[in-house]
């Protein structure tokens, strides 16, 4: 599953202090380890209110206490953040090696495609630890500029679709089309929303031009117009469906090309996930050191 760093389906900033200043305020009275970089944590918490930040630091402190630690390290903050964003770990869950391998390649596919896309958010963490309804998660860190503006370029949305499809593409390459799973269903829903929003709301259609095809309100990119009726003809609907399909097929092809071309990095990432269950962005970036891939760290 692909995790996009948004809060409650919204991309606007509620309360976000650059440079991690919000965390410095809400970590008073707590012993923080030297390895904690509040700027990095701040980039993973877009849209968090002061109460959200305080809750995160309190959760981190509880984890540190349970682990008999005298200070809060980056591991406690990362674990607390994932618990808040994706739910608690499914401790004690029996997972077969084959399923673990499949999830590892799925998440590695998301991360690989994202890392190789220009103008896309860098990878913050990859995990195959089951949380909530997700078997695994890939966290991306949105740029400060994009967070502040709330604007998305056409190329960014096209990249996002390719990243979302990277998981299914990796499954197909490694296990074959006959053995792919339903694990990418959430990714497909996201891709469909983005593609349809590009055509019907954002004027990114080559055939329909710069028009909004729905007057119902909401934002398909954020999943807010599901179930609302169309206000255009069947002929126009067919054109929209065709353009949406073209966008999705293009994104799929880009993801397939990157995963195939850099399959060595895909293997290294998946193997490391199987062994360690999680990787941070820096660990993941090291797999590109011996590759000729152009990694967009931003």
Active site members: 107
C-alpha angle 276-76-37 in degrees, rounded to nearest 5: 100
The C-alpha atoms of residue 27 and residue 178 are separated, in whole angstroms, by: 50
CA distance 142 to 137: 16
- Residues 13, 148: contact at Cβ < 8 Å? yes
Q: How far apart are CA 167 and CA 104, in angstroms?
A: 9
SS3 93: coil
Burial 192-213 (b: 16+ CB within 10 A, else e): bbbbbbbbbbbebbeebeeeeb
Containing 140, the helix (H) or strand (E) segment is strand 137-140
- The DSSP call for residue 241 is H
Asked if 48 and 7 count as a contact pair (C-beta separation under 8 A), the reply is yes
The encoded tokens of residue 28 equal 């008073």
Distances (CA, A) of 100 to 106, 128, 248, 272: 10, 7, 27, 12
């Amino acid at each position: 599953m692909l995790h996009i760093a948004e809060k409650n389906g919204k991309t606007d900033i509620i309360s976000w202090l650059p440079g991690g200043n919000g965390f410095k305020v809400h970590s008073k009275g707590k012993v923080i380890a030297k390895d904690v970089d509040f700027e990095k944590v701040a980039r993973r918490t877009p849209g968090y209110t002061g109460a959200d930040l305080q809750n995160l630091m309190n959760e981190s402190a509880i984890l540190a206490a349970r682990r008999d630690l005298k200070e809060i390290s980056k591991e406690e903050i990362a674990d607390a953040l994932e618990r808040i964003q994706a739910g608690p770990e499914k401790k004690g869950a029996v997972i077969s090696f084959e399923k673990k391998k499949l999830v590892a390649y799925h998440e590695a596919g998301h991360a690989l495609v994202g890392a190789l896309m220009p103008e896309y958010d860098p990878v913050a963490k990859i995990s195959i630890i089951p949380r909530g309804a997700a078997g695994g998660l890939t966290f991306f860190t949105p740029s400060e500029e994009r967070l502040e503006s709330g604007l998305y370029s056409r190329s960014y949305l096209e990249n996002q679709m390719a990243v979302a499809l990277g998981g299914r593409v990796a499954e197909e390459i490694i296990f074959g089309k006959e053995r792919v799973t339903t694990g990418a269903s959430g990714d497909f829903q996201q891709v469909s929303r983005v593609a349809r929003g590009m055509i019907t709301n954002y004027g990114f259609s080559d055939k329909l031009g710069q028009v909004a095809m729905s007057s119902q309100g909401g934002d398909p990119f954020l999943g807010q117009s599901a179930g609302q009726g169309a206000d255009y003809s069947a002929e126009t609907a067919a054109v929209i469906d065709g353009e949406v399909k073209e966008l999705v097929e293009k994104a799929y092809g880009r993801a397939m090309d990157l995963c195939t071309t850099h399959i060595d990095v895909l293997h290294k990432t998946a193997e490391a996930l199987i062994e360690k269950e999680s990787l941070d962005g820096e660990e993941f970036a090291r797999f590109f050191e011996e590759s000729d891939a152009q990694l967009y760290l931003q």
